[in-house]
């Protein structure tokens, strides 16, 4: 695939559409928009902002930027707050309005830190026609002083990943994503039943090609208490992840069941831990049993957890025996949580 040059496209037709979705982000959205307008590229790109009927000053801010940059910014201002489950939500409306070859994502409370981000990602996708998603590392930007900034992607993040990798867990920060518009087909009905939009869309796109990672920090993920997802309890996340995996399993006619079942076992274990820590061991048994079935009774942590909850006397006896034959600090194998 040839490298793109500026004179191969009409200025009226952007090569990249940046989808920026916002809701009550008046304290953050200006920085997000500025980080997009600061991008230095040899191709035209457009910023499409979708506001989910914010009740603060966000609509006025995005209108002001659109009025100052009419050739670079388009707006979709929803008169109704729809949230994540509506098929008419702002994020999907903006996606429908996107006609460029590539689409980049940015939430209204995050921002990009590298002015060459779009240029670098387009170059990668142009060089690798079998890649459908390109992402990069992201640095957290905590609002509270008690947290330390950290990279979201680990040092050993693979350069090239597949659908199977993605079914084992979402490793793509949303503010780092660029994907091919052509890889987004009609969304299945189950997509609109989920309380998340990024991971399921990545899964649907990744069935058409590879995922490419750029090992550079080029964006900041803002951590704050008013976000729509991060402040939720872990149990809320686990339940929604399990629902997604059930849908994905059926969507792919169980062809990726091994990878999905391994992921399901992990989330069932986390859910059981949450119930147990809250003082509800009886409630923990339900995800424990389901996780054991998903792992075909091979998940050692779930086996140990089952004994701890259902047969505590046997569990304590096994722990005593293990400690007798393997003193604390030993590396010998034993029953693991």
Superfamily of domain 6-223, CATH level 4: Spore Coat Polysaccharide Biosynthesis Protein SpsA; Chain A (3.90.550.10)
- What pLDDT, on the 0 to 100 scale, is given for residue 12? 67
List, in sequence order, every residue forming a beta bridge with 103; answer none if it has no partner. 17, 179
**Beta strand 102-107 pairing with 16-22:** parallel
Judged by average pLDDT, the poorest of 8-22, 80-94, 120-134, 220-234 is 220-234
**For residue 12, what are the CA distances in angstroms to 16, 98, 217?**
12, 13, 30
* pLDDT exceeds 80 at position 320: no
* pLDDT exceeds 80 at position 328: no
DSSP state of 109: T
Q: What is the mean pLDDT of residues 150-160?
A: 97
Q: What is the mean pLDDT of residues 102-121?
A: 98
Judged by average pLDDT, the poorest of 35-49, 190-204, 318-332 is 318-332
Quote the tokens at residue 196. 């998340």
CA distance 10 to 17: 14
Judged by average pLDDT, the poorest of 61-75, 134-148, 227-241 is 227-241
Residue 7 confidence class, pLDDT cut points 50, 70, 90? very low
CA distance 63 to 7: 30
- What pLDDT, on the 0 to 100 scale, is given for residue 326? 56
Q: What is the DSSP string of 61-122?
A: HHHHHHHH-TTTEEEEE-SS--TTT-TT-HHHHHHHH--SSEEEEEETT-EE--TTHHHHHH
- What pLDDT, on the 0 to 100 scale, is given for residue 333? 36
Q: What is the DSSP string of 227-267?
A: -SSTTS-HHHHHHHHHHHHHHHHHHTTTTTHHHHHHHHHHH
* pLDDT exceeds 90 at position 314: no
**Ranges 3-12, 49-58, 228-237, most confident:** 49-58
Start-end of CATH 3.90.550.10 domains in the chain: 6-223
- What pLDDT, on the 0 to 100 scale, is given for residue 329? 54
* pLDDT exceeds 80 at position 64: yes
Cβ(157)–Cβ(171) below 8 Å: yes
Q: What is the mean pLDDT of residues 295-315?
A: 81
Q: Residue 23: name the closest of 101, 96, 109 by CA.
A: 109
Quote the tokens at residue 27. 């304290």
| Each residue's pLDDT tens digit, 157-187 | 999 999 999 999 999 999 999 999 999 999 9
* pLDDT exceeds 70 at position 213: yes
- What pLDDT, on the 0 to 100 scale, is given for residue 236? 78
DSSP tally for the chain: helices H, then strands E: 11, 9
* pLDDT exceeds 50 at position 229: no
**Ranges 204-218, 222-236, 301-315, most confident:** 204-218
Of residues 106 and 282, more confidence is placed in 106
* pLDDT exceeds 50 at position 10: no
pTM of the model: 0.85
CA distance 204 to 252: 10
| Each residue's pLDDT tens digit, 235-276 | 778 999 999 999 999 999 999 999 999 999 999 999 999 988
- What pLDDT, on the 0 to 100 scale, is given for residue 9? 39
Q: What is the mean pLDDT of residues 153-158?
A: 97
- What pLDDT, on the 0 to 100 scale, is given for residue 295? 86
């Amino acid at each position: 695939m040839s490298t793109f040059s500026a004179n191969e496209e009409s200025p009226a037709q952007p090569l990249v559409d940046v989808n920026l979705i916002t809701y009550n982000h008046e304290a953050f959205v200006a920085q997000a928009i500025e980080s997009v307008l600061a991008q230095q590229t040899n191709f035209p790109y457009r910023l499409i902002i979708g506001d989910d009927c914010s009740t603060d000053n966000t609509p006025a801010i995005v209108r002001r930027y659109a009025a100052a940059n009419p050739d670079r910014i388009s707006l979709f201002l929803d008169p109704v707050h729809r949230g994540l489950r509506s098929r008419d939500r702002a994020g999907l409306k903006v996606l429908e309005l996107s006609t460029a070859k590539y689409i980049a994502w940015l939430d209204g409370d995050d921002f990009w830190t590298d002015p060459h981000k779009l240029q670098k990602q387009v170059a990668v996708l142009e060089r690798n026609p079998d890649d459908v998603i390109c992402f990069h590392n992201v640095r957290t930007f905590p609002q509270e002083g008690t947290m330390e900034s950290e990279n979201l992607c680990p040092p050993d993040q693979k350069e090239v990943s597949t659908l199977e990798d993605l079914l084992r867990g979402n490793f793509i920060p949303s503010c780092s994503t660029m994907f091919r518009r052509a890889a987004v087909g009609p969304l299945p009905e189950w997509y609109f039943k989920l309380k998340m939009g990024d991971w399921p869309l990545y899964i649907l796109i990744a069935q058409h090609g590879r995922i490419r990672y750029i090992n550079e920090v080029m964006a900041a993920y803002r951590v704050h208490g008013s976000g729509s997802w991060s402040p939720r309890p872990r149990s809320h996340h686990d339940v929604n992840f399990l629902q997604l995996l059930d849908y994905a399993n059926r969507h792919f006619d169980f062809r990726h069941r091994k990878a999905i079942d391994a992921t399901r076992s992990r989330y069932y274990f986390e859910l059981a831990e949450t119930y147990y820590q809250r003082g509800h061991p009886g409630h923990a048994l339900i995800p424990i049993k389901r996780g054991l079935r998903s792992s075909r009774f091979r998940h050692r942590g779930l086996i140990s957890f089952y004994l701890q909850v259902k047969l505590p006397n046997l569990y304590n006896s096994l722990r005593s025996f293990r400690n007798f034959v393997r003193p604390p600090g030993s590396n010998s194998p034993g029953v693991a949580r």
